[in-house]
Structure 1
Amino acid sequence: MDFHLKEEGMRIDLGYGQLDISGDEAYGFRPFQLMVASIAGCSASVFRKILKKQRISIEDLIIKADVERNPDEADRIEQIDLHFIIKGYQLDDEKLYKNLALARKNCSMARSVEDSITINETLETIELSR
């Protein structure tokens, strides 16, 4: 990965396009946003693979992320709360929580920060009717 200096931050060209990174949101994604997106995206991807292997069909998955930062320590991310909203048919909360725990164990991004950032996961199901 090659990062290049630009006027208000850094730029990288990736397979899916260009990514601008800056401490100022007017010029690109802020680094903390990318960190949270990496953790949420990895968690969702692994969770979805597990559900697919178990043949648990879902219609939609939304993750809401709340971030707690410490202004006294360079705005360090201290806690990320991920709230998974799952829409589908005949959903079993207990089974979904077990799969979410398994996903966490297999998400490389969450595992990479587990000793420095607290990650809390909650789950909400929305039962759809046919």
Structure 2
Amino acid sequence: MKFSMTENGFQTETQFGSLDISANDEYGFRPYQLMVSSVAVCSGGVLRKVLDKMRMPAEDITVEVKDVYRNPDEASRIERIELHFLIKGDINEAKMPRVMELTRKNCSMVRSVEGSIEVKETYEIIH
């Protein structure tokens, strides 16, 4: 990837179009939003795959970012991300602790921030 400076931040071209990134959310995605999005969507995608492999395919998964704690004394560093998964489908509740364990273990973004950012996951099953 190549990022080019713009008047208000940086821009890159992707196969899906241009991506604008700026410290000012009037001009593009803020870097922390992209970091949080990466963790959330990676987790959701892995959760979906784990449920499929356990023969409990989800009809729908929504990932809510409930909280992001940024430390103002450390350059607004992200210290905690709280994710809540809303899972619709015929899901065996007894298997969910293992599902969540495998999701965490196999999400490359969560693994990449391990020891640096606390990622807390909760879930709710909607029938």
Taking structure 1 as the reference length, what is the TM-score of the superposition? Answer: 0.92
Task: For residue 100 of structure 1, report the CA deviation from its aligned partner.
Answer: 1.7
Percent identity for Structure 1 against Structure 2: 52
Name the count of aligned residue pairs. 126
Structure 1 stretches of 4+ with a deviation exceeding 6 A read: none
Task: For residue 73 of structure 1, report the CA deviation from its aligned partner.
Answer: 1.0
Name the stretch that deviates more: 28-37 or 59-68. Answer: 59-68
How many Å separate the matches in 2 of 1:116 and 1:49?
A: 26
Task: For residue 17 of structure 1, report the CA deviation from its aligned partner.
Answer: 1.3
How many Å separate the matches in 2 of 1:102 and 1:61?
A: 16
Matches within 5 A, 1:104-123: 104-123=104-123
Task: For residue 93 of structure 1, report the CA deviation from its aligned partner.
Answer: 2.1
How many Å separate the matches in 2 of 1:52 and 1:101?
A: 15
Task: For residue 114 of structure 1, report the CA deviation from its aligned partner.
Answer: 0.7
**Contact kept? 1:97, 1:123, Cα under 8 Å:** no
Name the stretch that deviates more: 91-100 or 13-22. Answer: 91-100
Task: For residue 97 of structure 1, report the CA deviation from its aligned partner.
Answer: 2.7
Q: Secondary structure at the match of 2:29?
A: coil
**Contact kept? 2:56, 2:92, Cα under 8 Å:** no
Q: Any unmatched runs of 5+ in structure 2?
A: none
How many Å separate the matches in 1 of 2:23 and 2:97?
A: 35
Residue type at the aligned position of 2:80: Q
How many Å separate the matches in 1 of 2:3 and 2:124?
A: 39
Q: Secondary structure at the match of 1:97?
A: helix
In structure 2, the partner of 1:86 is 87
Task: For residue 57 of structure 1, report the CA deviation from its aligned partner.
Answer: 2.1
Q: Secondary structure at the match of 2:59?
A: strand
Aligned CA RMSD, in angstroms, stands at: 1.0
